[in-house]
A = this chain, B = another copy of it.
């Protein structure tokens, strides 16, 4: 077999099943090899940011990496924002980046690029395979590195791809188990939970599962502690039957208020709570200055194991506090973020996956669905918008039997709108809701928060935050990419369209025409504070 075949067989042997691709000439032998090796599903994307975002969504739902196939440095650059997002969420990903043949690099052809240099800032592991005989070893190592919750980027020169590799593929390697939390740290946590101080247990990371939520709830009750999640964990189980867990608000001012008086903070998978951005005269650190913080378990550690040990030591034998099912009525009247949220809560089907890049409008949907049917909620972990539509592609491929609901701001949707085409091509069971308010609403809020120009945009600044001129017709765009689509202008029409989409398999987009958010962030929608 040649190098490309050896690599794909190696990836398949390590359990990788999907490759999100946007290939070019230097990847043609890899593409050819997809017909020679069985077991790798190839999902074509029209832009590399769709491929990497899909891999991020896939990893969050499948709990294992997908691979991407990218074309030299520029292709990797196009993918970079969503690789960043995955990296911040500690989601595993294996990027295969084709390069010129090794002997061709010296000639500085137009696409010659410093791939390792571009990959480095967003990768935990970067390596350029040097020979066809090495590629099996290198591919297996890439998957091992990714399995640690990391970004592995393997550069594949064209001659390594097309060269002969008689040694064949690497056999399956059992992935490493998550590291157990050391006893001394568990002991310290137990002492903190027993000392009567005001304590918050903060969960975060790749996947706050049903079981993890229940364990944390039991532990928190036994210890008299609060339990909450970081603002944007990659994936959290919620809705009816899930444990009652708060969420740290996004706005630094509200988050600080929420943590006021907290004397101890135990972090499991979450980082220390800090402001998303800096603002003049606003603290970067959200916890009180005298709060004792214990990083009990990192996102790659055995969080469930740590919770189990602590629950046992604290005699946390009570039942977890679980949410009841409470479905609101269908909304009536004007369509806005609130009525959209109410409709979602009413119609969300059992075990759906919600991909939330609704930005300001998404903030309204989160608390509204706390008592909806049980579901998973996926968050943007790295703050780089343009993740939602691609992540929905990946989530739907990872879980073909589950409905995926993608909440998208109009502004964020436009970064990677090409993802709609892949939804149509693969006939993915995704319903996209576009919150079309013609604004970068979050930036109006942020403009006020930064205090720039006294918080009041001038004409040029206001224009830079307004994307409703010209109007964006997402129904037309989606239809143009093969996705059935409708436009909703009232709560009634939205409900009707959403109900139809929930009852039908396959991609559908609803262009929800809503009014812009009131930009005064000091009176955020009730949704701004975060119950999970």
Contact = CB atoms under 8 A, between A and B. Distances in A.
Interface in A97-115: 100-101, 103-104, 107-111, 113-114
Nearest to A158: B278
A490 to B, nearest CB: 21
Contact of A121 (B104, B114, B384): B114
A275 B26 CA distance: 13
A36 interface: yes
A25 B380 CA distance: 16
B284 A46 contact: no
Given A113-B121, A447-B32, A23 B277 contact: no
A417 B481 CA distance: 12
Interface stretch (A60-68, A322-330, A369-377, A458-466): A458-466
B470 A101 contact: no
B101 A78 contact: no
A382 interface: yes
A450 B28 contact: yes
A34 B475 contact: no
Interface stretch (A80-88, A177-185, A398-406, A496-504): A80-88
B447 A107 contact: no
Interface string A435-474: 0000000110011011111000111110111010111111
Contacts of A21: 464
A114 B80 CA distance: 12
Interface stretch (A302-310, A333-341, A418-426, A524-532): A418-426
Interface string A314-328: 000000000000000
B121 A44 contact: no
A481 to B, nearest CB: 6
A49 interface: yes
Interface in A262-282: 271-272, 274-278, 280
Residue in A100, A425, A442, A477 with the greatest tally of chain B CB atoms within 10 Å: A477
Contact of A35 (B415, B421, B453): B453
B450 A110 contact: no
A277 B25 contact: yes
Interface string A26-41: 1011011011100000
Interface in A187-240: 232
Contacts of A470: 421, 424-425, 481-482
Contact of A459 (B23, B35, B49, B414): B35
A381 interface: yes
A26 B279 CA distance: 9
A221 to B, nearest CB: 31
B158 A47 contact: no
A120 interface: yes
Nearest to A163: B280
B100 A277 contact: yes
A298 interface: no
A477 to B, nearest CB: 4
A519 interface: no
Contacts of A459: 35
Contacts of A15: none
A57 interface: no
A275 B49 CA distance: 28
A9 to B, nearest CB: 14
Contact of A77 (B84, B452, B453): B84
Given A101-B278, A277-B26, A415-B47, A474 B480 contact: yes
Contacts of A446: 24-25, 28
Contact of A464 (B31, B457, B480): B31
Contacts of A294: none
A448 to B, nearest CB: 9
Interface in A346-399: 381-384, 386
Contact of A109 (B44, B274, B424, B449): B274
Contact of A417 (B23, B72, B418, B451): B418
Contacts of A138: none
A476 interface: yes
Contacts of A291: none
A49 B78 contact: yes
A84 B111 CA distance: 8
Interface in A243-295: 271-272, 274-278, 280, 284-285
User: Which 3 pairs from chain A and chain B are nearest by CB?
Assistant: A35-B458, A470-B482, A77-B80
18 contacts: A23-B443, A28-B452, A29-B452, A35-B453, A35-B460, A44-B464, A73-B121, A74-B85, A77-B84, A77-B122, A77-B384, A107-B272, A108-B274, A110-B382, A415-B418, A417-B418, A425-B470, A476-B479
